Chain A
Amino acid sequence: MVLLDHAAVSQDAAVRVRGLSVVYRTDVGERAAVRSVDLDLSPGQITGIVGESGSGKSTLALALLNAVPKPGRIAAGSIEVGDLGEITGLSGRRLRHLRGGEIGYVFQASQNSLNPLKTIGKQLLDLGRSHGVDDLRGMVRDAGELAGRMGLDGKRVLDSYQHELSGGMRQRVGIMFALVLNARVLVLDEPTTALDMLSQVAVLDIVREIHRERGLATVIITHDMGVVAEMADRIAVMYGGRLVEVGPAVEVLRDPRHPYTRALIRAIPRLVGDPEAASALPGRPPDLVTLPQQGCVFRERCPLALPICATLDPAMTHDGMRGVACHAADGTPSSSEDEDRNEPIQAGGEKTS
């Protein structure tokens, strides 16, 4: 039924997301921040999740760690991670193993992701003890090597406090913390925001190399199409909580099918060529309350909007490795009787009852 083109790859996917919906409780009732998302993350592949702020990309990333902040909750769908299997119901020890043990999460550099009162080394020991590492000495050695691998002076960094590190150094320390327990999935939240140009390049290079060396399944969450163009093997574009387009990076960038993807690519400022050609998308991205409850989430800003877009939310249609959720893409409005959209919502109904 669920006819996924990349089914061949997804056999050994490190993370398998199906029909995921995350809702937040608001004054006007529960609203979906993430809706009916299907996504596979495979080892050796860098997936770039792109979207404006409020598109639900960060919520999606937190859902992978079963860490949706209150008043939000996972309302429907499933997330399977490696050997752990289904993680949406995890708690306690196994949940902690998921976080850190299986998936390493790297905060954006402007966020202080370290305890300001403890040295990096001591926090590393806390991490090891929390995850029941027997050979703490070995772990510290690994961490030092990892730090050295990223161009840091391992010994010095471990003796430092957060306030003694620059933004780029903190970012690398964050990556070290994410990978020191040999997590197989690496999630980077806006890895380049708040870094200067040189640090951006350095951090991205490091991510690419470590990714290749360890055969990670890497996710980069960003609003910056440029970063995705440079890093990702696969692109997933989010808008208003929906995945509107997925596909191999090269193809999506060369031939975007969703009007929103096109707009994002047009908005990339280029060093060469006509600066006038880079144009911002008119209008504002929706928030949870202004999000349309019916029809396509993008229609109000869409240059190609059709009458059907106001009533029917387009399902994702697949074509080879690519997928797009748009009535106007390729001219043929897709049928609404798509099971892969309805199924998770029913599943959600069972879950909450």
Chain B
Amino acid sequence: MRRLALRLGRRLLGGLVMIWLVSTFTFFIVHALPGDPVQVQYETLLARGVPPDQAQHQVSVMYGFVPHTSVWHQYGDYIFGLVHGDLGQSISYTGVGVGHIVLAAAPWTVVLVLTGIMASFLVGVSLGVLAAVRRSSRIGDLLSVSGSLLHGIPQFVLALLLLYIFSTQLAIMPYGAPYDASYSPGLNWPFMQSVISHAILPVAAYALSSYGGWLLTMKSSVISVLGDDFILAAELRGLRGITVMRYVARNAILPLFTILALSIGFMFGGSVFIESIFDYQGLGQMLLSSISARDYPLMAGAFLLITAAVIVANILAELVYTVIDPRVRRQA
């Protein structure tokens, strides 16, 4: 148990280092932007007749650092603000903190992505077992083909097709926004219903785009485990078929956890497409709109939060893995 805590602590520390690296990266990106937006903002304010010291103050509130000082000084201010939970202020949403905006958008993205991953993981893995066991029959072929097919289609193509079929042509699914504005948010049924119906297509897009990968990986993993000595041994000891299958499934699922980490990053990255295609207001959409609005503090914040979500999800996935595999659990 102590080892587990130690391991978790190390992972969290690693995550913090990553967040630090990513925020440093965005800081320098904003700095390297053509035309130095900080300077431009400052000059715009001056042109509006704002006194220099006040303009400087406003700009520093927005970006989290003061123009006209050294890069390192600005960097220090920025990181200091970050540590205190201050992500600066949005330019396009005047006067609103970036932290406030991205934290409001984050749950929509996180819930959709995780629901999509979980749905596709469960379905893909179960069907992967079936595809492996029945690999020489028609149903096995069919499953494998469905997996390869969906695996080969890019996420945004799937999302566009779903949108085109169900929302534009058949018009049986709503489009845009996490829910209809006519309902008041809260724990009431019409609101929940609206949330769910708006989430179905995006979740389906996430799920369908990763289902094939799970199915194919699980299939090959099961086939490889079926060839392992201990499975033959279990059969030669007269274990029940269902017990042998459980041995197979649990062992076969392990290698999938290393892929889960990659998949999580990919899915959160995909939110840029899916939220843009379905006009769904989450982090991905926010990242995109911040760029067209030249709202760089918001861009940095959204990117940081997407990365943070990926890191947290990865740590969770690794925890599950650790619980399943005694070789990891009982060692370091």
Contact = CB atoms under 8 A, between A and B. Distances in A.
Q: Decide if A and B touch, CB cutoff 8 A.
A: yes
B234 interface: yes
B12 interface: no
B28 to A, nearest CB: 46
Interface in B217-255: 228-230, 232-240, 243, 247, 250-251, 254
Contacts of A111: 229, 233
A127 interface: yes
B238 A97 contact: yes
Given A112-B230, A116-B230, A99 B238 contact: yes
B244 to A, nearest CB: 9
B10 interface: no
Interface string A103-122: 00101000111111111000
A247 interface: no
A161 B247 contact: no
B229 A113 contact: yes
A113 B247 CA distance: 12
Interface residues of A, number: 33
A126 B245 CA distance: 12
Given A129-B243, A130-B243, A161-B330, A115 B230 contact: yes
B61 to A, nearest CB: 54
Chain B interface main SS type: helix
Interface in B191-232: 228-230, 232
B229 A100 contact: no
B324 interface: yes
B239 A126 contact: yes
A126 B247 CA distance: 10
Interface hub of A116, A118, A131 (most chain B Cβ within 10 A): A116
Nearest to B228: A112
Contact of B239 (A107, A130, A174): A130
A163 B230 CA distance: 13
B325 interface: yes
Contacts of A161: 326-327, 330
Contacts of B325: 117
Interface in A36-88: 62, 65, 67, 69
A131 to B, nearest CB: 6
A131 B235 CA distance: 12
A61 to B, nearest CB: 10
Interface in B268-325: 324-325
A67 B250 CA distance: 24
B239 A67 contact: no
Contact of B330 (A69, A113, A164): A164
A117 B234 contact: no
A98 interface: yes
A40 B230 CA distance: 29
B247 to A, nearest CB: 5
Contact of A117 (B233, B240, B250): B250
Contact of B238 (A130, A164, A174): A130
A298 interface: no
A178 B251 CA distance: 23
B221 to A, nearest CB: 14
Given A107-B229, A130-B243, A117 B235 contact: no
A117 B237 contact: no
Contacts of B327: 116, 161, 163
Given A112-B228, A161-B330, A117 B251 contact: yes
A100 B230 CA distance: 14
A177 interface: yes
A101 interface: yes
Contacts of B254: 117
A343 to B, nearest CB: 30
A69 B232 CA distance: 10
Contact of B237 (A95, A99, A118): A99
A177 B230 contact: no
A305 to B, nearest CB: 38
B325 to A, nearest CB: 7
15 contacts: A97-B238, A98-B238, A99-B236, A100-B238, A107-B233, A114-B233, A115-B250, A115-B251, A116-B230, A116-B327, A117-B247, A117-B254, A161-B327, A174-B233, A177-B237
